[in-house]
Amino acid sequence: MRKLRQISGFTFIEIVITVVIVGIISALAVPSFLRTMDRVKLKSQVREVISDIRWARSKAIQTKVQCGVVFDTLTNTYKIFLDTNNPGGFAYTSSDSTLQTKTLGSKLDFGACTFTNGCIIFRSDGTGSSGGLINCKSTRITDNFNVDVLATTGRVKIL
């Protein structure tokens, strides 16, 4: 009688089952990964907005000229400007000196803005014209962040 040899390797059924299991795990993990990536992008954009507001504050202190940030919630843009036209008015006008114009990334929006005239202006001592917040949200996920500015100190933080 002939002896059967031991064959090592995987059977076709074992390979198919492994591929199916990997496919199921991937199908469950990908949506969670995409949500996480959207949240990371949103948080990164919020940090950039905070950085720009802080830069405007430091510019006001450095130049001894009021400097502000005005938010346009319809176009999802904001401008950093020197308030040279009407420094006591604490509002942005087109004749003010625009330093930078920025646009939020795709699939991101500004929500509610509680700053007076949609604008925060910093005085030369670093205090703000008014306190308030701007809401930053994603169009793909339900997460959102509020950027809060405290008028008395000019402190900027995420809520």
- What does the alpha-carbon distance between residue 31 and residue 56 come to, in Å, rounded to a whole number? 38
* Spatial CB neighbours of 66, under 8 Å, sequence gap ≥ 6: 60, 82, 83, 87, 90, 121, 122, 123, 124, 129
- Over the stretch 17-47, which tens digit does the pLDDT of each residue have? 999 999 999 888 888 888 888 889 889 999 9
Note the pLDDT of residue 94: 79
Residue 132 has pLDDT above 80, yes or no: yes
Q: Which two tokens stand for residue 61?
A: 């202190």
pLDDT digits (tens, 9 = 90+) for 57-102: 999 999 999 999 999 989 999 999 998 877 677 778 777 888 999 9
All domains of the chain in start order, with CATH: 12-158 (3.55.40.10)
Beta strands in 17-143 (DSSP E): 67-72, 77-82, 97-103, 108-113, 119-122, 132-138
- What pLDDT is stored for residue 78 in this prediction? 94
